[in-house]
């Protein structure tokens, strides 16, 4: 017997038949003798409709009212799933965020969970009742409904699993696990049985959108074992867990990529203290995140080129902010390039093994792919290359690191 949290996203509960299907999956876990809490999202499409209505009335709207509106999506799903479970003879009840309560801070629209009071729920789960919990929502200090931001249901599930001291948090999605790389691009990609929190975090941050970054951070912090698996296929998925639980660690676990970034180069920036702050300050003020940054060595000792990446959707805004700041900044020219891709090699093994970066550079060089920018973290090496090389780079690296399926 185990205590597990199961989480189903919008596609998995997208219509009445799928909700019934989810009920059957939950029943299986109950029949296996497990204590079960289920966290669900809104039926797919519903949240978009609700957000759209808010925007139609006022592009800039009170986040508290927005939360009141959009939180209804999950509330519909919990009621329907509870009914579907009861119809299968499973004892179940729904819980809105405010009923548990899942307390959050007061940041409406993207609140953070502070505490979850599970006393009542645990008692009922021990008595065999399935808790059907609305993801994505909580209760703020103002006693009003808060939401956690898009994709927040993953975070709800992990936070609930932590509060319930659950043995596992199963996140059901439309993919059947975490792959060594995108299987739509690399046919030899393999599903991983296990991956560490750290690696999963890096994967999420570079665009492998299986789990929301915040949910992985929370899982890592509270050591919640998270399994990613398919709601449509009946097979084990990928377990995201502590490094110690992985006996045979790979040097490299996966190759990720992100097409969401754009490159900006400021040509002939003065090579003097305070210049970087003068550039990145206005961007930060405009809430534009800057990712990779490279400053070339100054050739003449007086000026240099500065290259960095921003989100593709922020590119025009970033260009405007920098042009407007041109009175204070001085640069000869701004070159914007959206045709780039960030390719990342990820693996906890690189902490203790040298040569992994070198293999990446060699592999790309042998395919004549020019590296524009490089950045590294403890368990990740990322390079920026021309977007047209995405597929070629992924396949070459996947093979080079020995990740291809046998």
From CA 279, how far away is CA 281, in angstroms rounded? 6
Instruction: Mark the segment that binds a second copy (CB under 8 A) among 76-84, 102-110, 278-286, 393-401.
Output: 76-84
Per-residue contact track with a second copy, 31 to 70, x per CB under 8 A? -------------------x--xx-xxx--xx-xxxxxx-
Closer CB to a second copy, residue 71 or residue 350? 71
Pairing between strand 261-270 and 303-311? antiparallel
* Distance of closest approach, residue 165 Cβ to a second copy, in angstroms: 24
Closer CB to a second copy, residue 98 or residue 401? 98
If one asks whether residue 87 binds a second copy (CB under 8 A), the answer comes out as yes
Relative orientation angle of helices 315-324 and 275-285, to the nearest 10 degrees: 130
If one asks whether residue 143 binds a second copy (CB under 8 A), the answer comes out as yes
If one asks whether residue 76 binds a second copy (CB under 8 A), the answer comes out as yes
Instruction: Mark the segment that binds a second copy (CB under 8 A) among 81-89, 103-111, 153-161, 313-321.
Output: 81-89
* Distance of closest approach, residue 87 Cβ to a second copy, in angstroms: 4
From CA 289, how far away is CA 300, in angstroms rounded? 30
* Distance of closest approach, residue 66 Cβ to a second copy, in angstroms: 7
Structure tokens at 184: 């739509």
Compute how many residues bind a second copy; rule: CB under 8 A. 37
If one asks whether residue 2 binds a second copy (CB under 8 A), the answer comes out as no
Structure tokens at 82: 């509870």
Per-residue contact track with a second copy, 13 to 32, x per CB under 8 A? ---x--xx------------
C-alpha distances in angstroms, 251 versus 136, 199, 362, 375? 35, 11, 17, 19
Closer CB to a second copy, residue 88 or residue 356? 88
Sort 332 into a burial class: Cβ within 10 Å, 0-12 / 13-18 / 19+: exposed
Phi and psi (nearest 5°) for 55?
A: -65, -35
Per-residue contact track with a second copy, 304 to 343, x per CB under 8 A? ----------------------------------------
Beta strands in 236-318 (DSSP E): 238-241, 254-258, 261-270, 290-295, 303-311
304 alpha carbon, distance to own chain's centre: 35
Phi and psi (nearest 5°) for 234?
A: -95, 85
From CA 229, how far away is CA 108, in angstroms rounded? 30
* Distance of closest approach, residue 21 Cβ to a second copy, in angstroms: 12
* Distance of closest approach, residue 124 Cβ to a second copy, in angstroms: 13
Asked whether 394 and 341 are in contact (CB, 8 A), the reply is: no
Instruction: Mark the segment that binds a second copy (CB under 8 A) among 138-146, 204-212, 237-245, 398-406.
Output: 138-146
From CA 29, how far away is CA 40, in angstroms rounded? 16
When binding is defined by CB under 8 A, the residue of 3, 79, 243, 334 that contacts a second copy is: 79
| Residues 89-118 contacting a second copy, CB under 8 A | 93-94, 96, 98-99
CA dihedral of residues 171, 379, 384, 264 (deg, nearest 10): 90
Phi and psi (nearest 5°) for 171?
A: -100, 110
Structure tokens at 373: 């920018």
Asked whether 206 and 291 are in contact (CB, 8 A), the reply is: no
Nearest to 317 by CA among 288, 285, 360: 288
* Distance of closest approach, residue 10 Cβ to a second copy, in angstroms: 15
Instruction: Mark the segment that binds a second copy (CB under 8 A) among 2-10, 26-34, 84-92, 243-251.
Output: 84-92
If one asks whether residue 257 binds a second copy (CB under 8 A), the answer comes out as no
Binding site for a second copy (CB under 8 A): 16, 19-20, 50, 53-54, 56-58, 61-62, 64-69, 71-72, 75-76, 78-80, 82-84, 86-87, 93-94, 96, 98-99, 143-145
């Amino acid at each position: 017997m185990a205590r597990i949290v199961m989480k189903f996203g919008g596609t998995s509960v997208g219509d009445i038949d799928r909700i019934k299907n989810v009920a059957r999956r939950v029943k299986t876990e109950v029949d296996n003798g497990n204590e079960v809490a289920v966290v669900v999202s809104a039926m797919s499409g519903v949240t978009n409709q609700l957000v759209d209505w808010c925007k139609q009335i006022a592009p800039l709207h009170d986040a508290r009212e927005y939360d009141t509106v959009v939180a209804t999506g999950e509330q519909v799903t919990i009621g329907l799933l509870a009914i579907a479970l009861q119809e299968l003879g499973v004892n179940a009840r729904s819980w809105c965020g405010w009923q548990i309560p899942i307390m959050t801070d007061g940041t409406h629209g993207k609140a953070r969970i502070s505490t979850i009071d599970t006393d009542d729920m645990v008692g009922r789960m021990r008595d065999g009742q399935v808790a059907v919990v609305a993801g994505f929502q909580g209760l703020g200090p103002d006693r009003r409904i808060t939401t956690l931001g898009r994709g927040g249901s993953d975070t709800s599930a992990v936070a609930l699993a932590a509060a319930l001291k659950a043995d596992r948090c199963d996140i059901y999605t439309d993919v059947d696990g975490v792959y060594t790389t995108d299987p739509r691009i690399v046919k030899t990609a393999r599903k991983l049985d296990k991956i560490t929190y750290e690696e999963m975090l890096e994967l999420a941050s570079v665009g492998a959108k299986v789990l929301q970054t915040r949910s992985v951070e929370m899982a890592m912090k509270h050591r919640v074992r998270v399994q990613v698996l398919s709601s449509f296929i009946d097979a084990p998925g990928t377990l995201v867990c502590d490094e110690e639980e992985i006996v045979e660690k790979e040097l490299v676990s996966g190759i990720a990529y992100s097409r969401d970034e754009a490159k900006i180069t400021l040509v002939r920036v003065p090579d003097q203290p305070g210049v970087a702050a003068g550039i990145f300050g206005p961007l930060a003020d405009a809430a534009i995140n800057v990712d990779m940054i490279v400053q070339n060595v100054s050739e003449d000792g007086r000026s240099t080129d500065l290259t960095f990446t921003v989100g593709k959707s922020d590119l025009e805004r970033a260009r405007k902010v920098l042009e407007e700041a041109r009175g204070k900044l001085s640069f000869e020219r701004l070159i914007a390039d959206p045709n780039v891709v960030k390719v990342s090699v990820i693996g906890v093994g690189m902490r203790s093994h040298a040569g992994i970066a070198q293999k990446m550079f060699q592999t790309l060089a042998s395919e004549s792919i020019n590296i524009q920018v490089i950045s590294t973290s403890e368990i990740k090496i990322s390079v920026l290359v021309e977007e047209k090389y995405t597929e070629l780079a992924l396949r070459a690296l996947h093979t080079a690191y020995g990740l291809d399926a046998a």
